[in-house]
Structure 1
Amino acid sequence: MNGASREALAGARDSLDALTDTSSVDVTKLAGDLSAVTALLDREVSLRRVLTDPSQPGEAKAELAGRLLTGQVDGAAVDLVKGMVRSRWSQSRDLVDAAEELANTADLTAAQQAGSLDNVEDELFRFGRIVSSNPALRAALTDKSATTAAKSQLLRSLLGGKAETVTERLVARLVTQPRGRSLESGLESLSKLAAERRSRMVAEVTSAVPLSDPQKQRLGAALAKIYGREMHLNLDVDPAVLGGIQVRVGDEFINGTIAERLDEASRRMAG
């Protein structure tokens, strides 16, 4: 997002945080309501264009949103959306992206309140690994000809009773409402959003053998010192790296594996 949309999203995040800080709001219901709003705005192109039209007064757009949504979703979601459409958006699509982010954030907040946010982060990462290593599963989950019911049933067979309910909801939302994204990029975005709930960064760590608890603690502390923020480690084991570790933080990649050193030695010899 650029310019006005970035500012509008920041304001919407602040409003969501203020709402979810109160015990009177059912955060899980709010997440579901915001997901329904996302689906509506994604489907009704003309509506979202009206609601983001910079030539129209913000209050008029808020009143329209209120009339459309009152009785369909709870008051907390109505108030959030009214506040969002009062803001200026660079593109109408940005409003849909913002509504979706708020829905996901509300679900992650529910997990945080329940003390299960760490589990959700780990499950999202592991599910992403399963998908990337199983082309048949990925094809089934992204098949455009498959019905929503069929995809939901497949996810229930994979995650039902084996993962946190928030994880199930987030993955189901991504699979049934992909909105043009790849499954992998959607899962990565969810993982980053989960980490941000604790103001943490995510480091994807690949090692030849599982790291011990002391190794995890030392690595997490070292990365936190480098980046100045608490670090959540998504751990993966790949014997192909031979030894050492690979670490990816955002767009930065740190390779300290034996395989990489052998490759470098081979390149030098070939040169």
Structure 2
Amino acid sequence: MNGASREALASAREQLDVLTDDTSVDAAKLAEELAAVTALLDREVSLRRVLTDPAQTGEARADLARRLLGNRISGSAADLVAGMVHSRWSRSRDLTDAIEELAYSAELADAQRAGALDEVEDELFRFGRIVSSAPQLRSALTDSTAKASAKTELLHTLLGGRANPATERLVVRLVTAPRGRSLEAGLDALSKLAAHRRDRVVAVVTSAVPLSEGQRQRLGAALATVYGRQIHLNLDVDPEVLGGVQVRIGDEVINGTIADRLDEVARRMAG
């Protein structure tokens, strides 16, 4: 997002934080309501354009949003959406994208309240690894011709009773309403939102063998010193790295694996 949309989203995030900090607000219900508004605006393109029409005043757009949504969602959700509609957006789609982000963030806030945010983060990461290693499962979950109910049932079979309920709800929303995103991109976005909940950076650590608790703590502390922020480690095991670790943070990759060193030797010999 650029310009006005970026400023509007920043303001909406602050409003959401105020709501989710209030323990009287049901954050999981708020997430469900915001997801429903996202779906509505995706279906009703003309409505989305009216709600972001710069020719109308912010007050007029907000009043319209309250009239349309007031009987469908809670007062807290309606006020949040109305506040977003009051803001200016560079593109009409940016409003829908922002509401979707807040839906996911509200779900993660609910998990954080319950002390389950770490668990949800780890489960999202592991689910992504399972999908990437099972092409048939990925095809079933991303098949555009399959009904949402069938995908939901498949995910319930896979995750029901085995994962945190918040994890299951997040994955079901992502799979049944991808909104033009790949499954991998959606899971990555969720991981970043979860890290943002506590202002942390996510590092994907790949090693030949599982790291011990002591190794995890030392690596996390070292990375936190380098980046000046708390680091959440998503751990993956890949025997092909031969030894050492590879750390990926965003687009940056820190290699310390034997395989990487052998590749470097080979490159030098070839040169």
Q: TM over 0.5, yes or no?
A: yes
Partner of 2:146: 146
Partner of 2:233: 233
Q: What CA distance in whole angstroms lies between the structure 1 residues aligned with 2:153 and 2:142?
A: 14
Matches within 5 A, 1:59-78: 59-78=59-78
Partner of 2:202: 202
Partner of 2:221: 221
Matches within 5 A, 1:63-142: 63-142=63-142
Deviations 1:26-71 (A, max 9, x none): 1111110000001001111111111111111001001110111011
Distance apart, 1:92 and its partner CA: 0.5
Q: What CA distance in whole angstroms lies between the structure 1 residues aligned with 2:93 and 2:251?
A: 25
Higher alpha-carbon deviation: 14-23 or 217-226: 14-23
| Structure 1: segments with no counterpart, 5+ residues | none
Q: What CA distance in whole angstroms lies between the structure 1 residues aligned with 2:20 and 2:267?
A: 55
| Structure 1 residue matching 2:71: 3-state secondary structure | coil
Aligned-residue CA RMSD in angstroms? Answer: 0.6
| Structure 2: segments with no counterpart, 5+ residues | none
Identity across matched positions, percent: 72
Give structure 1 regions of 4+ aligned residues with deviation exceeding 4 angstroms.
none
Q: What CA distance in whole angstroms lies between the structure 2 residues aligned with 1:107 and 1:70?
A: 21
Distance apart, 1:78 and its partner CA: 0.2
Deviations 1:203-233 (A, max 9, x none): 0000000000110000000000011100000
Q: What CA distance in whole angstroms lies between the structure 1 residues aligned with 2:130 and 2:151?
A: 16
Give yes or no for the alignment of 1:267 onto 2:263.
no
| Structure 2 residue matching 1:256: 3-state secondary structure | strand
| Structure 1 residue matching 2:202: 3-state secondary structure | strand
Distance apart, 1:270 and its partner CA: 1.3
| Structure 1 residue matching 2:205: 3-state secondary structure | strand
Deviations 1:78-128 (A, max 9, x none): 000000010000111100110001000000000000000000000000000
Partner of 1:183: 183
Distance apart, 1:24 and its partner CA: 1.8
Q: Which amino acid aligns with 1:124?
A: L
Distance apart, 1:18 and its partner CA: 0.7
Deviations 1:113-161 (A, max 9, x none): 0000000000000000011111100000000110011000000011000
TM-score by length of 1: 0.99
Q: What CA distance in whole angstroms lies between the structure 1 residues aligned with 2:224 and 2:42?
A: 38
Distance apart, 1:267 and its partner CA: 1.2
Partner of 2:41: 41
Q: What CA distance in whole angstroms lies between the structure 2 residues aligned with 1:240 and 1:211?
A: 15
Higher alpha-carbon deviation: 261-270 or 151-160: 261-270
Q: What CA distance in whole angstroms lies between the structure 2 residues aligned with 1:132 and 1:24?
A: 39
Partner of 2:50: 50
Q: Which amino acid aligns with 2:188?
A: E
Q: What CA distance in whole angstroms lies between the structure 2 residues aligned with 1:250 and 1:270?
A: 31
Q: What CA distance in whole angstroms lies between the structure 1 residues aligned with 2:137 and 2:130?
A: 9
| Structure 1 residue matching 2:246: 3-state secondary structure | strand
Q: Which amino acid aligns with 2:24?
A: S
Q: What CA distance in whole angstroms lies between the structure 2 residues aligned with 1:253 and 1:208?
A: 16
TM-score by length of 2: 0.99
